[in-house]
Amino acid sequence: MDYKHLKSGTDLRGKAIGSDAVLTSETASRLGFAFAAWLARRYAPVDLRIAIGRDSRLSGQQLLHAFAQGAVSAGATVLDFGLCTTPAMYQSLKDEQLDLTASIMVTASHHPADRNGLKFFTQRDGGFTSQMLSEFILYAEQSPGIQQDAGNRGKVAAFDYLEIYCANLKAKVRKELNTDVARPLLGLHVVVDAGNGAGGFYAQMLDELGAWTEGSQFLKPDGSFPNHPPNPENETAMQSVSRAVIAAEADLGVIFDADCDRAAIVDSQGKVINRNRLIALVSAMLLDKQPGITIVTDSVTSSGLARFIGEWGGEHYRYKRGYRNVIDEAIRLNRSGVNCPLAIETSGHAAFRENDFVDDGMYLSTVLICEAMRLKQEGKSLFSLINGLQEPLESVEIRLSITAKDYHQTGLRLIEMVMEHATFDAAWEIASDNREGIRIGFDLGEEMDSGWFLLRMSVHDPVLALNVESDVESGVKHMINALYDVIRDAKGVDLSSLAAYED
């Protein structure tokens, strides 16, 4: 079978509901069998043990069951965690009593309800890299599939891992607040918005720690996501949790995506704290305790954020878009001797070194809630930490579809065209930390370093992504027109969205 069409970065994803579904129970069963066989071949475990969990998607239960039965047919013992989170699936590999070889999460993150997918983790190598996934796909495609006489040599057993995961988070709260009291969050009002994904249990956990969670919403798992998309970057979702915080007069609100590896927050006034604001807030917390550390982010972060981190005594290190890229680079930097305790992407993926660089939205939220509790006891606000963050006056992201068949080479040629122009145009300054695509800075009007654009290849799609930010009025239009003048004759790319900015 051809599984390459399901590959999306480091995951397998596809439509899972409807007559044109590609991620079916049969596909999941075959993949389960191939995965167990691949694990046995690669790691030769004495006892092949795989854990599997899912988010709230309507297709999740059947895909989990099918994958588990396929793995059992290859001789694996499978622990069915049921409703779970992606970070919990990863962290279960650290549990010596479970002695797992690998774990799987059935999720499509924030994508539409008819989509689903598979995330892969192994005890020895952690989360799949893109290369590991490609190797597994090749093995699965060459596998003869489940043999009719294979029988159920393994077994499936239900296991409630979320209880262990919650216990670990509770221990984190008590450690951060340096207390053994039963209800250390007493006096803090937190609204939780789970978006009908897998994270509704977080509100109950906060209740048990003493927090007041009145006003929390969409805690019940519902894979049709009837209230808003489970996405901390989505404007509708963020407006919804903001209204809930204001109505409840809460200290803050937290919101998760469907599988809880991403999060965002809002302050007591309903102000959205995501993207650059979230990165700035976490950076300030860390830099207050450890000046001089390096914060790794993706490439689309703002100039204002870089200045903010520098003013707090830190080093801002931009890297390639994609949470795995950001995390892997942070790990590499630490190994080379750079003190880098945080890798965080603008989408809300945040991974702390102290948490094994697992991107965990609930761990992030727990860290922020503890800091909010500590500062409230001192009569201060968590959000005052980012008062000095300069935000752009204008910003836009434009996706330029690549129509040529050789889309990757076409995209790279256009980026090279821009880079070549920038080398001789004194008004175009190539960023010194350019590590993806081409990032160009501008002095707009009389303001130094007041605008920039980044043109890069999309991580997953045949698209050139263009991010543009300006600190002065009409700066975005000026930079887009300047770019369009350079690339207007390029072939194989739809530039109509840039042409629309011309007078």
- Give the pLDDT mean for 292-300: 96
Q: 């697992």: which residue's tokens?
A: 358
Q: How far apart are CA 89 and CA 100, in angstroms?
A: 11
Cα 249 to the chain's mean position, in Å?
A: 29
pTM of the model: 0.94
pLDDT at 150: 52
* The 342-344 sheet, strands edge to edge: 315-318, 294-297, 342-344, 350-352
> Is the per-residue pLDDT at 243 higher than 60?
yes
Task: Identify the band that residue 365 occupies on the pLDDT scale cut at 50, 70 and 90.
Answer: very high
pLDDT at 29: 96
pLDDT at 445: 86
- Give the pLDDT mean for 15-20: 96
Q: How far apart are CA 268 and CA 227, in angstroms?
A: 22
Q: How far apart are CA 265 and CA 285, in angstroms?
A: 15
- Give the pLDDT mean for 497-503: 92
> Is the per-residue pLDDT at 165 higher than 60?
yes
- Give the pLDDT mean for 85-106: 97
% of the chain with per-residue pLDDT over 90 = 93
- Give the pLDDT mean for 118-128: 96
Task: Identify the band that residue 389 occupies on the pLDDT scale cut at 50, 70 and 90.
Answer: very high
pLDDT at 1: 77
CA 338 vs CA 223, 279, 332, 503: distances in Å = 42, 19, 9, 48
> Is the per-residue pLDDT at 46 higher than 90?
no
DSSP structure class, residue 115:
E
Could you give the domains of the chain? 4-160 (3.40.120.10), 165-386 (3.40.120.10), 394-499 (3.30.310.50)
Q: Supply the mean pLDDT for the chain.
A: 95
pLDDT tens, position by position, 431-472: 999 899 999 999 998 889 999 999 999 877 899 999 999 999
pLDDT at 147: 63
Q: How far separated are the first and last CA of the chain, in Å rounded?
A: 51
pLDDT at 9: 86
Range of 1-5, 411-415, 459-463 with top mean pLDDT: 411-415
Task: Identify the band that residue 171 occupies on the pLDDT scale cut at 50, 70 and 90.
Answer: very high
pLDDT at 122: 97
Cβ-count burial of 47 within 10 angstroms (0-12 exposed, 13-18 middle, 19+ buried)? exposed
CA 436 vs CA 169, 416, 465, 487: distances in Å = 35, 12, 11, 19
Instruction: State the sign of the Cα–Cα–Cα–Cα dihedral 288, 205, 297, 346.
Output: negative
pLDDT tens, position by position, 124-151: 999 999 999 999 999 999 987 776 555 5
pLDDT at 146: 74
> Is the per-residue pLDDT at 152 higher than 60?
no
Task: Identify the band that residue 238 occupies on the pLDDT scale cut at 50, 70 and 90.
Answer: very high
> Is the per-residue pLDDT at 374 higher than 80?
yes
Give the list of residues 6+ apart from residue 434 with CB closer than 8 angstroms, or none: none
Q: How far apart are CA 95 and CA 118, in angstroms?
A: 21
pLDDT at 151: 53
- Give the pLDDT mean for 188-206: 98
Q: How far apart are CA 395 and CA 398, in angstroms?
A: 10
pLDDT at 320: 92
pLDDT at 148: 53
